[in-house]
Amino acid sequence: MIVRLLLTVGLLLGCAYRSHASILVEFDFTGQPGDQASTLASWTGPAVMASPFRRGSGLDPRTGANSIGAQSWTTGDLIDLNSDYFEFVISPSAGATLDIDCIAFGEFRSASGITEFTLRSSLDDFRSNVIDAPVTVPDDGSTRGHELTLGSAFDVIVSSVTFRLY
């Protein structure tokens, strides 16, 4: 599984499949056991720094080839903002500005896995969803690709921003 954070130069045009997009950060989980604590970025663009991709402290590791897995998610209507998430931080180098338009990644679940997820950021201390509504995850073990388009709040990033998948 590969997670990509993308930059679109100029207009807000979308994700990796557009010819205008440049990848800012890539996390490649190929060869990973799934229960590793974190995964380093496999690639970063010029003037970009990234933290490792990691699971929050409230989640237990779950093995699964070529992934980073988690179990023991809090169930119910309330999101545990402090511990149940996957997270990474992206930062521009000094003097640089980032325009982050999209996050693209693959996802799969077990029979007892999550039924939906959402994306939040540190720009508002994880209080609101970055995307319009939570994404429903089908009740099967198939791998799905997701492209989450970000809004104008991510057009001029001059300091670190943390993203969390809840």
Mind listing the pLDDT tens digit for each residue in 21-40?
588 999 999 999 999 999 99
Q: What are the average pLDDT values for consecutive 10-residue runs of the chain, which has 166 residues?
A: 37 37 88 95 93 96 92 84 95 93 90 88 96 89 90 94 96
* Greatest extent of the chain over all pairs of C-alpha atoms, in Å: 46
pLDDT of 21 reads 56
| Dist CA 52 CA 130 (whole Å) | 21
- The confidence score (pLDDT) of residue 142 equals 87
Q: Counting beta carbons within 10 angstroms of the beta carbon of residue 43, is it exposed (0 to 12), middle (13 to 18) or buried (19 or more)?
A: middle
Task: Please state the length of the chain.
Answer: 166
**pLDDT given at position 102:** 93
What is the reported pTM? 0.86
